[in-house]
Structure 1
Amino acid sequence: MNGLLSRSIVMNLVRFKGLPILQQLHVEENLLRTSSHNWCIINDGTHHPTVVMGISGAASELLEIEPVLRDGIPVIRRFTGGGTVVVGSGTVFVTLICNKEAVADLQMYPRPIMSWTGLFYDRVFQGIGDFHLRENDYVFGNRKFGGNAQSITKNRWIHHTSFLWDYDVRNMAYLKLPKRAPEYRLARDHLEFICRMKDYMPRSVFIDKTVEALGTEFSVRSVKSDGLASFLNTKFSPSTRLLTRQELEAAAFASPVEIALS
């Protein structure tokens, strides 16, 4: 870890409670593209169950579209890569948005950034469970509890994580078994593959430990959530968006050739 070298670097910390995930992603994209500051965003839950797909995800391959439409589940295509997740009130979101100089000697490529975040969260989960960064997931043993996505620009990077502190088993029915999955998944279904963080630590303790770990790496400056607007570019138009019902209906009837070309 490069804590002694990095602590002079200021990290702005913003904490939310129940911010809608679409709004959170719009804020993140705005800060990544238009801000020159380093940011950590912690959002403790989002009110309504929502599916969030990566920028290149195909709904026809990833979602059980009939129940998604039947239950009126919002589907978001975010601005970063990575997989598909169902988020809700039991999800805790942590996002790091950094300039390339924020972490000393960190190479601006996906794997080094992922490795560094694994070391960061190793501090958070020290002595708790059998924590590992496994492929691109955070796991206890061989069960996933944290899904990650990243994006890298010329001078900045973002790494955001959906931590499954808890989840509703019924929501897993909205996801298909992905064709491309980590090797360690071993074709396990969702309920055999993931675990709940609440079985390992209290929710508030996880958030407090994350903030504490942040303070060992950076000089943390708290920004009130209602003061964040002054840092946002009001003219910025985010690419993260909700998929329309028409798009989902079209995906439900897409042919294999159309899926391959999408």
Structure 2
Amino acid sequence: MTGKAAVPLMKLVRLKGLPILQQLHLEEQLLRTSSDNWCLINDGTISPAIVMGLSGKISELVEVKSVLRDHIPIIRRFTGGGTVIVDHDTIFVTLICNKDAVSNVQPFPRPIMTWSGLLYNKVFEGVADFHLRENDYVFGDHKFGGNAQSITKHRWVHHTSFLWDYEAKNMSYLKLPSKAPEYRLTRGHVDFIRGMKDYLPRSEFIERTIKAIGAQFSVKPISLESIDITSASEFVHTTKLLTEQEIQEACNVQT
């Protein structure tokens, strides 16, 4: 058979305000224990949290004393990539795919990144000057989307935190990374980033994203409650919430 029957199925889960730690745990489990393709869209997370890549060093990336003083949680996720601070104005889009789900895309970081850039080019078509620059999604030369990936033998995940808006104070918890994309130059966080709210409503962004995914997949909406995670108690997550002691030990900070 040809045509629509050949289009891979993608299960779509729309969430609102799901805590980012719970979302990352779900993503990791779906990547490693499911054989389905998934799209998770989470419209905001309840409270501010710092999320670090798997190999990030706390002392180099986070203003530790401020974070401990203000009780900002730090999560080390199961994917690579950089460090972000997320809150209710962050929109999360996660794509979990079998390696053969997207034709002509090899399961390596650069081909996946290039494919995702083309996908979001459709989302922002006619809206803004969207580009994929290095590993970032940008409007012009301002970053609004940060990406991370994890690739297993048969599957991969590509997830993005999109800034619909942000609070300048939250950005002060993050240090300027020692390794930054060339286009950043020497700009601080607030001069470097831009929120999507200047370009389109958050609901429209979500609908455009679902439509773009629907051009390549047969999208099947399902509820969070219907996901079979019966083996959750046996699954060991790599993603973890760091304790205050772990943060202090990693940075040798005394409070």
**Counterpart of 1:226?**
225
Cα 1:7/1:170, change in 2 over 3 Å: farther
> 1:8: how far off?
1.4
Cα 1:158/1:5, change in 2 over 3 Å: farther
Identity percentage over the alignment? Answer: 62
**Which structure 2 residues correspond to residues 82-231 of structure 1 after superposition, within 5 A?**
82-228=81-227, 230-231=228-229
Q: Secondary structure at the match of 1:94?
A: strand
Alignment partners' CA distance in 2, 1:6 and 1:20: 36
Q: Secondary structure at the match of 2:26?
A: helix
Cα 1:69/1:135, change in 2 over 3 Å: same
Conservation of the 8 A alpha-carbon contact between 1:35 and 1:232:
no
Alignment partners' CA distance in 2, 1:227 and 1:169: 38
Q: How many residues align?
A: 250
**Counterpart of 1:42?**
41
Q: Please state if 1:51 is matched with 2:47.
A: no
TM-score under structure 2 length normalisation: 0.95
| Structure 1 letter corresponding to 2:21 | L
> 1:68: how far off?
0.2
**Counterpart of 1:64?**
63
Q: Secondary structure at the match of 1:212?
A: helix
**Counterpart of 1:241?**
240
> 1:237: how far off?
1.2
Task: Structure 1: state its 5+ residue gaps.
Answer: 255-262
> 1:180: how far off?
0.5
Conservation of the 8 A alpha-carbon contact between 1:31 and 1:232:
no
Alignment partners' CA distance in 2, 1:233 and 1:6: 31
Task: Structure 2: state its 5+ residue gaps.
Answer: none
> 1:232: how far off?
5.6
TM-score under structure 1 length normalisation: 0.93
Q: Secondary structure at the match of 2:172?
A: helix
> 1:128: how far off?
1.2
**Cα RMSD (Å):** 1.3
> 1:214: how far off?
1.0
Alignment partners' CA distance in 2, 1:174 and 1:124: 31
**Counterpart of 2:28?**
29
Cα deviations by residue, 1:25-80 (Å, 9 ceiling, x for unpaired): 00000000000000000000001100000000000000000010000000000000
| Structure 2 letter corresponding to 1:108 | P
| Structure 1 letter corresponding to 2:53 | G
Cα 1:252/1:231, change in 2 over 3 Å: closer
Conservation of the 8 A alpha-carbon contact between 1:7 and 1:216:
no
Cα 1:188/1:218, change in 2 over 3 Å: same
**Counterpart of 1:259?**
none
Conservation of the 8 A alpha-carbon contact between 1:93 and 1:161:
yes
| Structure 2 letter corresponding to 1:68 | V
> 1:7: how far off?
6.2
Alignment partners' CA distance in 1, 2:235 and 2:219: 26
Alignment partners' CA distance in 2, 1:227 and 1:56: 33
Cα 1:124/1:7, change in 2 over 3 Å: farther
Cα deviations by residue, 1:156-185 (Å, 9 ceiling, x for unpaired): 000000000011110001000000111111
Cα 1:48/1:6, change in 2 over 3 Å: farther
